[in-house]
Amino acid sequence: MTMTVIDAPAPRLGGSGGGSQQAPAAVVMVRPHLFAPNLAECGDNTYMTAPRGDERAVAQAAYREVSIMADRLTDRGVRVHLFEDTGRLTPDSVFPNNWFSTHDDGALTLYPMKARNRRGERRTDIVDTLRGQYAVTHVRDYSAWEQAGQYLEGTGVLVLDHDTRVAYVCRSHRVNETLLRQFCSDHGYRAVVFDAVDRLGHPIYHTNVMMAVGTDVALVCLDAIASDLDRRIVRDELEAAGRHVISLTHEQVGEFAGNALEVRGSGAALLVMSSRGWRSLSRRSRSAVDSWVDVLTVDVPTIEHAGGSARCMMAGVHLPAIAS
């Protein structure tokens, strides 16, 4: 298949508050007490690996990694809404960005999930907390689509350019293009849809594994995009939006270098990436990224066994503040 561009209403540059909306100043994180890789996801998540150690040691290590990461973000001025998950039925709860997203027009959006045991991650207490502390004007709930086998797993499959209102999406079993069109119509985005595969030729399950878009820099594995034409289109889109493009290799994607999120700390943007991903970049690439944005590396090796990394662990809060 080739590139699909799904049109939407004209983009709203800079969102409602002016300036870039790309880096949220707050994030939601979930700290699991009984973490384990989700076996229900291993069919198409080729980045999962088996952790060493017994279940209790793995769970304790994951708990520590989330705690330390949350503290490091807080120390840099990022507001962290940290929630606890003490249950055994939601092994992927540490990745909240897949079941909801927030937007600068006040929308809070809920998504349909492919794995049945992920559907319990949707929590009314998280939604209620955000509604109590931010100006949530409406909730868009697409979750019923999962009953018909149609999925759109949040900002796992949607890599959003909040400024130019472009959604980058690689096709997978976790993306229903009819629902994607509905998302674009409801939220005012234009989707750029393409096929992307890992180094073994398997479709990449979530776009945010291979791609991250910040305010000034974008990390993307162009080699993963199946079509030469689609590669050029994605690069052209990013550069036209003013992004400096850092091209990743398949090996660097396997080290989670593409699974990064730009947030805003005390007066400065921070690109949050795992230490493993950062180490995989060439010295030249690290120098280039450093010249455009401060980098905050975090150690999350246990979490990465589940096939996701630092970006997946944060759901950005783009909601407006409540008017005083």
- Other Cβ atoms less than 10 A from the Cβ of 119: the count is 16
Q: What is the pLDDT of residue 164?
A: 96
Tell me how far CA of residue 150 lies from CA of 96, 147, 280, 308, in angstroms.
19, 7, 35, 22
Q: What is the pLDDT of residue 149?
A: 96
**Tokens encoding 136:** 């949530």
User: What pLDDT band is residue 23 in, cutting at 50, 70 and 90?
Assistant: very high
User: Is 27:79 a contact under the CB 8 Å cutoff?
Assistant: yes
The pLDDT tens digits of the residues spanning 3-18 come to 455 554 433 333 333 4
Q: What is the pLDDT of residue 188?
A: 97
Overall pTM surpassing 0.85 (yes/no): yes
Overall average pLDDT of the 83-104 stretch: 95
- DSSP bridge partners of 296: 272
The pLDDT tens digits of the residues spanning 192-214 come to 999 999 988 999 999 999 999 99
Tell me how far CA of residue 229 lies from CA of 4, 11, 172, 226, in angstroms.
12, 24, 19, 9
- DSSP bridge partners of 140: 109
Measured distance CA(312)–CA(315) in Å, rounded: 7
Overall average pLDDT of the 110-139 stretch: 96
Overall average pLDDT of the 68-90 stretch: 96
Nearest to 194 by CA among 173, 221, 168, 166: 168
User: What pLDDT band is residue 37 in, cutting at 50, 70 and 90?
Assistant: confident
